[in-house]
Amino acid sequence: MIAFLKTVAEIIARWWSEFTIQTRLMAAATLVVSLLMSALTFWAVNTIQQDARLHDTRFGRDLGLLLAANVAPLVADQNYTELARFSRDFYHSTSNVRYMLYADEQGSIYYGIPFSESQVTNSLTLQRHIQLPEGSSEFDSPRVRQHLTPDGEVADVFVPLKHDGQYLGVLAIGINPHATVVASSHLTRDVTLAVFISIWVMVILGAVFNALIITRPIKELLVGVKNIAAGNFKQRVDLPFGGELGELILRFNEMAERLERYEEHNIEELTAEKAKLETLVSTIVDGAVLLDTELQVVLANPTARRIFGWETNHVIGANVLHFLPDTAQIELARPLQKVALGERDAAEFRITLNSPSKRIIRILLTTVLDQYREKPKGIAMTVQDITREVELNDAKSQFISNVSHELRTPLFNIKSFIETLHEYGDSLSELERQEFLETANRETDRLSRLVNDVLDLSRLESGRQYQFEPIDLAATVEQTLRTYQLNARDKGIHLIQEIDPQLPSVWGNYDLLLQVFANLVGNALKFTLSGGRVAIRAYPLESESEEQPSQVRIEVSDTGIGIDLADQTGIFERFFRVENRVHVLEGTGLGLSIVRSILEKHHTAIHLISELGVGTTFWFDLAVAQEPGKPLVAQPVIDSSTPVTVAATVNSSSSG
């Protein structure tokens, strides 16, 4: 039972907690009004009953005194027949008397209406007694008391019967309640009860009306406002109400529609601006990474992804330190934390990466502030690949070092020999003076060569346009061999040429090709020891689709010291010299770089094969000049036929 009551109490408490403040206040007010009306009803009924009781008491006392005065002589004369007749006539003449009882001095009832119509005394007759108020057997004034019956409250009036000063007994009369008063009391109670019920019915109907007419649309509006506050501008309230409430719903829907259009417009603008920003960032040559204050990646352009190897990694929303290469992570961990906390505004770093590829980068960290430029909102990280810049700086330093060395040596020799001639010319023999002048002249030529190489490379890279025409390679090779014939003879090196008799003309620039042959042959003579050989050969490449060959291959081979495999990848870079490792031979390190630039003008490339102690072969292909009337188009490079080993090629050649 206790558990059941507790459960009921919990249900009522939960049910009550779901009511709004207004509903609770309305219920409390209704309860107060109903209780007040109940109290008023109780007071009114009680007052009426008290008045009725007082009226019945007075009426009963007066009626008892009147009857006692009339029947006392009959009782004294023991004329019970007349007493009975008088009592019956009086009892039947009024409806206010409930009963009439006559008792002797001991309280024994000897006549009563309507209890007995005739007195029959026998051995079975019950002797009835009357209980007087306060237990008195004799009293002088009427006594009144009240008792309840099924028909209502009855006033009991006890009047003493006296005649000539002698106490004869008691007359007891029961007085019925006044009918009008009772009816009025019942009417008042019924009206009050009806009012009480009407109040609760009106409250319930008002609550239902409020729930259907006012609370429901207000709740709908409240839900709509919450949805709009949450960003759902598609919310609408569709309720058929008029008046002020309908106007409110209409204005709410108009507001929601305007907010939705405004949001769509803003989203379009933001999307367009975002697309512009992403396009701009993606086209930046430098890498760009945007981080929040938790060091999580917000944006990373393709350049940054390529530099850090993030092409296959999903880095957006992840901590950048988890994806940076080890060297960059070690270098940037603490600075990133300081910049994110606002302890530093900017920082710049130069880091060498070993993965995903070896490169040198410059990273600039910049704090991104809020609109008030007070609190940090993120970090902008700019990443620049300065590998080429560093290489160019190193190359420039190497070039300056080489050129300075090459310029200083001939200038020093020229100055030394000229000063000697100037100061001691009279004491020198004619042969010595001639030797000094030849040395100065040779050093001057060396200085001129250095300057010309630098000028040639600058001219080739300046974008200057050269005139191309059909070139006879045999004439170019012949002129090159004549130029270096004396130099080769002095060093004891054999020059060899193998030119196909049916070699077609090629498409190119005569002066540029002559410079290519000069650089290649000059290098071959420089790195070939006495007794070695240098060969130039040219032959057409076989063509499968045409009767006329489309390309001619030119090879320059030697039996020199060869080029180490580690040097072969950088030998065509400017200012690179193999002799950098030994510093025994003169040169600027620009010759092969010039060759590569010239052949690029001819839409072809230079290749090599070399073996230390055996020799080196350089080769390239040139497009055959077209027949008259056909357009002259440079042909692509064909690497399909690679020369045989250097030693075998040179040794099988004949002397030239």
Q: Is the dihedral of CA 583, 595, 441, 422 positive or negative?
A: negative
The residue among 566, 576, 574 whose CA lies nearest residue 610 is 566
CA distances from 169 to 57, 104, 154, 323 (A): 21, 4, 22, 124
**E strand residue ranges, 386-528:** 469-471, 494-499, 506-508
168: Cα within 13 Å, side-chain hemisphere: 19
The residue among 621, 620, 610 whose CA lies nearest residue 578 is 610
253: Cα within 13 Å, side-chain hemisphere: 12
Instruction: Tell the residue number behind the tokens 């709009």, with chain if given.
Output: 228
Q: Which amino acid is at 579?
A: E
d(CA 139, CA 301): 123
Phi and psi, residue 409, nearest 5°: -65, -55
d(CA 471, CA 233): 78
pLDDT of res. 608: 92
d(CA 403, CA 101): 160
* DSSP per residue, 71-136: HHHHHHTT-HHHHHHHHHHHHHH-SSEEEEEEE-TT-BEEEEETT-SS---STTPPP-B---GGG-
**E strand residue ranges, 459-614:** 469-471, 494-499, 506-508, 533-540, 551-558, 607-611
Sheet order of strands, 359-369 included: 297-300, 287-292, 376-385, 359-369, 346-353
d(CA 620, CA 605): 6
Residues 6+ apart with CB under 8 A from 508: 468, 469, 471, 602, 622
Give the other-Cβ count within 10 Å of 259's Cβ: 16
Report whether 155 contacts 60 (CB < 8 A): yes
Phi and psi, residue 121, nearest 5°: -105, 120
Q: Please return the burial class of 395, using the count of CB atoms within 10 Å of its CB with bins 0-12, 13-18 and 19+.
A: middle
d(CA 503, CA 476): 13
Tell me: cis bond preceding 636? Omega within 30 of 0 counts: no
Q: Is the dihedral of CA 103, 106, 107, 111 positive or negative?
A: negative
Q: Please return the burial class of 515, using the count of CB atoms within 10 Å of its CB with bins 0-12, 13-18 and 19+.
A: buried
* DSSP per residue, 147-212: EEETTEEEEEEEEEEEETTEEEEEEEEEEPPPHHHHHHHHHHHHHHHHHHHHHHHHHHHHHHHIII
d(CA 101, CA 99): 7
Q: What is the CA 494 to chain-centroid distance, rounded?
A: 77
Phi and psi, residue 289, nearest 5°: -130, 130
d(CA 243, CA 176): 62
d(CA 1, CA 170): 57
Report whether 441 contacts 434 (CB < 8 A): no
Q: What is the CA 101 to chain-centroid distance, rounded?
A: 102
pLDDT of res. 118: 47
The residue among 487, 455, 488, 454 whose CA lies nearest residue 589 is 454
d(CA 579, CA 588): 10
Q: Is the dihedral of CA 597, 603, 606, 607 positive or negative?
A: positive
pLDDT of res. 123: 43
The residue among 461, 486, 479 whose CA lies nearest residue 517 is 479
pLDDT of res. 520: 92
The residue among 178, 169, 174 whose CA lies nearest residue 157 is 174
The H or E element spanning position 348 is: strand 346-353
d(CA 178, CA 455): 145
Phi and psi, residue 248, nearest 5°: -60, -45
The residue among 349, 377, 231, 205 whose CA lies nearest residue 291 is 377
| 443-451, long-range: CB < 8 A, 24+ apart | 443/409, 443/410, 443/411, 443/413, 443/414, 443/417, 444/410, 444/414, 446/406, 446/410, 446/586, 447/406, 447/407, 447/410, 447/411, 447/414, 449/588, 450/403, 450/406, 450/407, 450/410, 450/588
pLDDT of res. 470: 92
Report whether 228 contacts 241 (CB < 8 A): no
Instruction: Give me the residues of the chain with pLDDT under 50, please.
Output: 117-125, 136, 580-584, 629-656
d(CA 203, CA 182): 32
The residue among 304, 275, 276, 306 whose CA lies nearest residue 290 is 304
The residue among 133, 134, 67 whose CA lies nearest residue 102 is 67
